[in-house]
Structure 1
Amino acid sequence: MEEFWSAALWVLTIWLYLIVSLIMIPAMFGFSLGISETYMNILVKTLEWATLKIQKAKTDEQTLTPSPSNGLIQREDGSMEKEFEELRRSRPKPSVGGDFTLSDSFYFSRRGIESIVEDEVTQRFSSEELVSWNLLTRTNDFQYISLKLTLVYGIGIFLRYCILAPLRITLACIGLTWLVIGTSAVGLLPNWRIKYWLSEWVHVMCYRICARGLSATIRYHNRENKPKKGGICVANHTSPIDIVILCNDGCYAMVGQIHGGLMGVLQRAMVRSCPHVWFERAEMKDRHLVTKRLKDHVNDKTKLPILIFPEGTCVNNTSVMMFKKGSFEIGATIYPVAIKYDPKFGDAFWNSSKYSMVSYLLMMMTSWALVCNVWYLPAMHQQEGEDAVQFANRVKSAIAHQGGLVDLQWDGGLKRAKVKESFKEQQQKQYSSMVVGDDSSGHSD
């Protein structure tokens, strides 16, 4: 029995030594020994080989082609005015009366049928479709094609669940533990310049360890546009891991509601060393208080840029949905950031209505890897005569264009709520203005 425990202790010691020497120390100082790059090269070649095998076995089947809508229906991108113009092209304008015709009902009937079959909102909260199978049963059911492919699939299961998952869970635990200990220790120091430098270093170091725990391969573009102190960084939102992705390249001040449990422990530790903006549940409902706290933060040019996800919910990596206007009412410099994940290596989207946080993290830690691109866009300012909603839409459009995402006007809150009456009234007024011929009000939206 003693020999068993001695051997187990020896294996554990070797395991921790390999983690510290090969992963943690390089992560702490922001360099790589090339292990992850080698793993990614082998993985890419393996998936390419598997794709060729699958395509060869199914040459008689039509290959699935991805569409920007990620859905069954190919929708028109034109506005209501353009679509009515097409419908009325062969109809002369009446000499008297309003500009109404029975053919207008075809537009509303078609849009209604499209929404019944597949609405633009619901499909944004389901996993992104793949062109080919990535050897993960969570994206496609396993089907026997060849003995070689089956062997590779079996080896992949062993690698992901028996080697990578324990390694990633260990790294995640170490990263979070160090975050609590490090930020708590830094919080005991006096408010000197070195305290803020150490705080940023501890935050970035721990996030880098967590990123290594997800086998994250991140490509940052246009680093000259990185968010600066005294500003607000806004990004599209796919997953809670977005925070790890962005903080792996720099430190940010977080904004959010105070939680209990493990999340509460992390929040209390982090705020000791860095001025994050945490709110009580009752305070979150007070817009004026939230706006004041955010203004006070950005007006202090010594504080870190605030990181905000204005969509308010996770979207499935194909689109950008409506930005809440709150962070655009402050008058601060906005630093847009676009994040786009490669679904071939793992589905980064968190469907919170289907999976708990723990289940989602386990799925991420048993995926092949986390691969994504991050684009830092030039800073944007509110223009003269532009209200907060227009400014938010302009920033959202820039992020969608850069990330190759679909720009949608729908509120992500429709995931759990009904359409607001004000939106219905807006569409009714838009059509009414077209019927009576009032072009100025017809384009007021």
Structure 2
Amino acid sequence: MEDFWSGALWVMKIWLYLIVSLIMIPAMFGFSLGISETYMSILVKTLEWATLNIQEAKTDEQTLKGSASNGLIQREDGSMEKELEELRRSRPKPSVGGDFTLSDCFYFNRRGIESIVEDEVTQRFTSEELVSWNLLTRTNDFQYISLKLTLVYGIGIFLRYCILAPLRIALACIGLTWLVIGTSAVGLLPNLRIKFWLSEQVHVMCYRICARGLSATIRYHNRENKPQKGGICVANHTSPIDIVILCNDSCYAMVGQVHGGLMGVIQRAMVRSCPHVWFERAEMKDRHLVTKRLTDHVNDKTKLPILIFPEGTCVNNTSVMMFKKGSFEIGATIYPVAIKYDPKFGDAFWNSSKYSMVSYLLRMMTSWALVCNVWYLPAMHQQEGEDAVQFANRVKSAIAHQGGLVDLQWDGGLKRAKVKESFKEQQQKQYSSMVVGDDSSGHSD
């Protein structure tokens, strides 16, 4: 029995040595020994081989296209005015009674049926479709295709659950533990320049360890546009891991609600060394208080840029939904960032209505890898005569264009709520202005 336990301790020592020497130390200092690159190269070739085998076995089946639309509806991109004008082209305009005809109801019926058949909002909160199976059980119900493919599938399960998952969980735990200990220790120092420098180094190093715990391969583009102190970084939101992805390259001040439990411990430790902006639940409802605290933060040019996800919810990596205008009312410099994940290696989208945070993280740690591109866009400022909503839409469009995402005007809050009455009234006013011949836009705030 003693030989058994001594052998087990020896194996654990070797395992910890490998973790520290081959993964943690390179991660802390931001370099790689080439292990991740070799793993990704083998993985890409394996998935390409599997795709060819699947296509050869199913040559008579049409491959699904991973597009943002399911292809059932061919929508017209014109406005209400243009589409109604097309319908009315063959009808003479009445001399009295306003510009109204009963045939207008066909337009609204068609748009209503289109929205039911192909809901633009609901499909943004489900996992995006893949071009082909990536040998992950959750992305496709396994069906026997060939013996070779089945063997590779079985080896993949063993590799992901028995080797990679324990290693990734260990790295994540180490990274979070070091974050709490490191930020707490730095928080004991006086408020001098060395304290803030050490705080940034601790944050970045710990996030890099967590990123290695997800086998993250991140490509950063246009680093000359990285967010600067005294500004606000805004990005599209797919997953809570977005924070790890961005903080792996730079340090940010976080904004969010105060939590309890383990998350609360992490928040209290982080705020000791760095001026993050945490709000109590009651304070989050006070827009003036939130705006004032954010304004005070960005006006201090020595503080880190604030990281905000204006969508307010996670969207499935295919589109960008409406940005809340709060962070665009401050008048600060906005640094847009576009994040796009490669779904071939794992589904990064967090469906919070279906999976808990722990369940989601376990799914991510049993994926092949986390691969994504991050684009830093040039800083943007609010133009003269431009209100906060227009500014937010302009930033959102820039992010969507750079990331190859669909630019949507819908509020992400529709994930759990109904359409606001103000939106319905806006459409009614728009049609009313057409009927009575009013040139005003009829838009409501």
**Same structural fold, with TM-score higher than 0.5 when normalized by the shorter chain:** yes
What is the CA distance between 1:274 and its match in structure 2? 0.3
What is the CA distance between 1:303 and its match in structure 2? 0.1
Indicate conservation of the 8 Å contact 1:322/1:412, yes or no.
yes
d(CA) in 1 for partners of 2:259 and 2:91? 61
Structure 2: 5+ residue runs without aligned partners? none
Give CA-to-partner distance per residue, 1:351-402, whole Å, 9 cap, x none: 0000000000000000000011111111111111111111111111111111
Q: Pick closer, same or farther for the CA change 1:202–1:72 going to 2, 3 Å.
A: farther
Indicate conservation of the 8 Å contact 1:219/1:374, yes or no.
yes
Aligned to 2:393: 393
What is the CA distance between 1:74 and its match in structure 2? 3.6
Aligned to 1:444: 444
Give CA-to-partner distance per residue, 1:113-146, whole Å, 9 cap, x none: 1222231111110000111110111111101111
d(CA) in 1 for partners of 2:245 and 2:261? 23
Aligned to 1:6: 6
Give CA-to-partner distance per residue, 1:391-445, whole Å, 9 cap, x none: 1111111111111111111111111111111010001011111122223326888
Q: Pick closer, same or farther for the CA change 1:329–1:116 going to 2, 3 Å.
A: same
What is the CA distance between 1:318 and its match in structure 2? 0.7
Give SS of 2:139's match. coil
Indicate conservation of the 8 Å contact 2:426/2:444, yes or no.
no
Structure 1: 5+ residue runs without aligned partners? none
Identity of aligned residues (%): 95
d(CA) in 2 for partners of 1:416 and 1:147? 44
Q: Pick closer, same or farther for the CA change 1:297–1:344 going to 2, 3 Å.
A: same
Give CA-to-partner distance per residue, 1:193-242, whole Å, 9 cap, x none: 11111100000000000000001011111111110000000000000000
What is the CA distance between 1:71 and its match in structure 2? 6.4
What is the CA distance between 1:289 and its match in structure 2? 0.5
406-415 or 111-120: bigger deviation: 111-120
Indicate conservation of the 8 Å contact 2:67/2:129, yes or no.
no
Give SS of 1:24's match. helix
Aligned to 1:293: 293
d(CA) in 2 for partners of 1:249 and 1:68? 29
Aligned to 1:16: 16
Indicate conservation of the 8 Å contact 1:189/1:195, yes or no.
yes
389-398 or 103-112: bigger deviation: 103-112
196-205 or 70-79: bigger deviation: 70-79
Aligned to 1:246: 246
d(CA) in 2 for partners of 1:420 and 1:169? 42
417-426 or 66-75: bigger deviation: 66-75
d(CA) in 2 for partners of 1:201 and 1:171? 18
What is the CA distance between 1:78 and its match in structure 2? 2.3
What is the CA distance between 1:55 and its match in structure 2? 0.8
| Match status 1:101 vs 2:101 | yes
d(CA) in 2 for partners of 1:143 and 1:176? 39
| Match status 1:328 vs 2:328 | yes
Q: Pick closer, same or farther for the CA change 1:167–1:56 going to 2, 3 Å.
A: same
Indicate conservation of the 8 Å contact 1:71/1:123, yes or no.
no
Give SS of 2:254's match. strand
TM-score, normalised relative to structure 2: 0.98
What is the CA distance between 1:34 and its match in structure 2? 0.6
What is the CA distance between 1:72 and its match in structure 2? 4.2
Give CA-to-partner distance per residue, 1:151-185, whole Å, 9 cap, x none: 11011000100110001000000000000000001
108-117 or 194-203: bigger deviation: 108-117
Indicate conservation of the 8 Å contact 2:422/2:444, yes or no.
no
Indicate conservation of the 8 Å contact 2:135/2:153, yes or no.
yes
Give SS of 1:337's match. strand
Aligned to 1:231: 231
d(CA) in 1 for partners of 2:72 and 2:165? 35
d(CA) in 1 for partners of 2:426 and 2:443? 11
Q: CA RMSD in A?
A: 1.3
d(CA) in 1 for partners of 2:325 and 2:65? 35
Indicate conservation of the 8 Å contact 1:70/1:318, yes or no.
no
d(CA) in 1 for partners of 2:18 and 2:78? 57
